[in-house]
């Protein structure tokens, strides 16, 4: 290898790309991370981030392992999930139902704290961070991948990784077709202070035409993710009215709410590319897949892409070896397809209007709640 050639160039410094670059940098690989704009963490302590993630125990271990688990002071814990159907169905499960040694189903972490925890380590761990000049062109040969930046710089690597989000530029350059299915819904997110303690319980309601989730944050705060076909109805509400609407939608289980972040919305789509590897290129994170957020697993799938690809590349003699890339694709295909089908199936089950279906889906939930092996399966799925 000539010394101007990287082992890996990662395009996109979101959570998935940055964590992959960090894992590879710590393993001694020569890595460049290209990000359109360097994130600014100067005002990290100010306010709260409405975009939060439920990070699974497996991904907490991955982030701990690369020294990027954020300060515990701002991290919430999901000890129990309490899920209700639209006609009396209910299932509740805790980490102990999974039968392992996990003491939480997931941890709730704000987007920018997680991103800051990763980015603050990048340069110290040997990652070359390139910001300010977007990618302008890419090409591959059987021996290497080449990337040209808008400022004229030419980079070469054994492997180029596209971690550049749902509208991936890298995926487009490869000419890979992706099936994109809009759900006709948006996820509306906002944070609230609640009157009563949340008890580390994540609460979720399938209402028939929307899915509402309250995720327990640190202190007496919750983060809402409301998947709805009418996001404007929530976005246009002044803070007090929004708080009242959200508290009411959950039957005021946690008393009155006070809004602490304005509501924001993001479109929900199921994205499935025809492949996630090509000659000298791999896709990870939202570039490789998106899912409905009703199980909160979008970013967890992405972190697992990063963890498993990093493990494959740590000692690889050639990071872009085709057999290795095929192995990566095989390893991830089943987990990603299972999560996409599971979330899509639940979405359809709870949005279909067929007669008798509300009874069936609610009875199914409540039955699962009573059957220990099925419930264990639910809990294990949540832990990841």
Ligand X SMILES: Cc1cc2nc3c(=O)[nH]c(=O)nc-3n(C[C@H](O)[C@H](O)[C@H](O)COP(=O)(O)OP(=O)(O)OC[C@H]3O[C@@H](n4cnc5c(N)ncnc54)[C@H](O)[C@@H]3O)c2cc1C
Give the Cα separation of 298 and 169 in Å (integer): 19
Nearest-approach distance from CB 148 to ligand X, in angstroms: 12
- Binder among 8, 9, 11, 247 for ligand X (CB under 6 A): 11
Nearest-approach distance from CB 87 to ligand X, in angstroms: 26
Judged by CB under 6 A, does residue 89 bind ligand X? no
Identify residues 241-270 at the interface with ligand X (CB under 6 A).
264, 266
User: Strand 135-140 vs strand 145-149: parallel, antiparallel, or unpaired?
Assistant: antiparallel
Identify residues 272-291 at the interface with ligand X (CB under 6 A).
285-286
Give the Cα separation of 313 and 325 in Å (integer): 10
Nearest CB to ligand X, comparing residues 89 and 298: 298
- Binder among 8, 15, 254, 343 for ligand X (CB under 6 A): 15
Nearest-approach distance from CB 192 to ligand X, in angstroms: 15
The dihedral through the CA atoms of 252, 253, 256, 260 has a sign that is: negative
Judged by CB under 6 A, does residue 130 bind ligand X? no
Judged by CB under 6 A, does residue 41 bind ligand X? no
Judged by CB under 6 A, does residue 12 bind ligand X? yes
Give the Cα separation of 302 and 278 in Å (integer): 18
DSSP designation for 83: E
- Binder among 25, 231, 302, 358 for ligand X (CB under 6 A): 302
Give CA separation, 106 vs 22, 215, 283, 367, in Å.
22, 10, 26, 24
Identify whether the C-beta of residue 68 lies closer than 8 Å to the C-beta of residue 353: no
DSSP for 172-228, please give it. Answer: HHHT--EEEEEEEEEEEEEEEEESS--TTEEEEEE-SS-EEEEEE-SSSEEEEEEEE
Identify residues 145-204 at the interface with ligand X (CB under 6 A).
163-165, 169, 187, 189
User: Strand 90-94 vs strand 80-84: parallel, antiparallel, or unpaired?
Assistant: antiparallel
Q: Given the rule CB under 6 A, which of 7-15, 59-67, 314-322, 350-358 is the region that contacts ligand X?
A: 7-15
Nearest CB to ligand X, comparing residues 134 and 342: 134
Number of residues that bind ligand X (CB under 6 A): 31
Identify whether the C-beta of residue 286 lies closer than 8 Å to the C-beta of residue 302: yes
Q: Which residues bind ligand X (CB under 6 A)?
A: 11-17, 34-36, 51-53, 134-135, 163-165, 169, 187, 189, 225, 264, 266, 285-286, 293, 296, 298-299, 302
């Amino acid at each position: 290898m000539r010394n101007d050639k990287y082992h890996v160039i990662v395009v996109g410094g979101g959570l998935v790309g940055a964590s992959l670059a960090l894992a590879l940098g710590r393993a001694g690989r020569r890595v460049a991370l290209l990000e359109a704009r360097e994130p600014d963490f100067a005002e990290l302590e100010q306010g709260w981030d409405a975009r939060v993630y439920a990070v699974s125990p497996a991904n907490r271990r991955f982030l701990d392992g690369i020294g990027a688990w954020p300060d515990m002071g701002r991290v919430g814990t999901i000890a129990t999930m309490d899920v209700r159907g639209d006609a009396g169905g209910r299932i509740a499960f805790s980490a102990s139902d999974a039968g392992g040694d996990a003491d939480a189903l997931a941890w709730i972490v704000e987007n920018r704290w997680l991103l800051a925890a990763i980015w603050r380590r990048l340069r110290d761990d040997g990652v070359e961070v390139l910001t300010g000049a977007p990618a302008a062109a890419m090409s591959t040969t059987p021996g290497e991948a080449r990337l040209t930046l808008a400022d004229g710089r030419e980079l070469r690597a054994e492997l180029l990784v596209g971690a550049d989000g749902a509208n991936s530029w890298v995926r487009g350059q490869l000419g890979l077709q992706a099936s994109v299915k809009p759900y006709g819904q948006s996820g509306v997110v906002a944070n609230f202070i609640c009157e009563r303690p949340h008890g580390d319980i994540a609460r979720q309601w399938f209402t028939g035409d929307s899915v509402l989730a309250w995720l327990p944050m640190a202190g007496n705060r919750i983060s809402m993710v409301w998947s709805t076909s009418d996001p404007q109805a929530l976005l246009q509400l002044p803070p007090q009215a929004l708080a009242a609407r959200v508290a009411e939608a959950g039957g005021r289980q946690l008393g009155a709410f006070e809004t602490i972040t304005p509501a924001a919305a993001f479109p929900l789509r199921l994205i499935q590319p025809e492949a996630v590897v090509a000659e000298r290129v791999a896709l990870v994170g939202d570039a490789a897949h998106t899912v409905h957020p009703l199980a909160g697993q979008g970013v967890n799938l992405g972190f697992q892409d990063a963890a498993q690809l990093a493990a494959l590349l740590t000692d690889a003699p050639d990071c872009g070896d085709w057999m290795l890339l095929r192995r990566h694709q095989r390893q991830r295909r089943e987990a990603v397809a299972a999560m996409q089908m599971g979330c899509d199936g639940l979405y359809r089950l709870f949005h279909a209007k067929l007669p008798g279906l509300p009874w069936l889906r609610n009875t199914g939930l409540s039955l699962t709640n009573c059957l220990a092996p099925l419930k264990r399966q639910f809990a294990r799925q949540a832990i990841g």
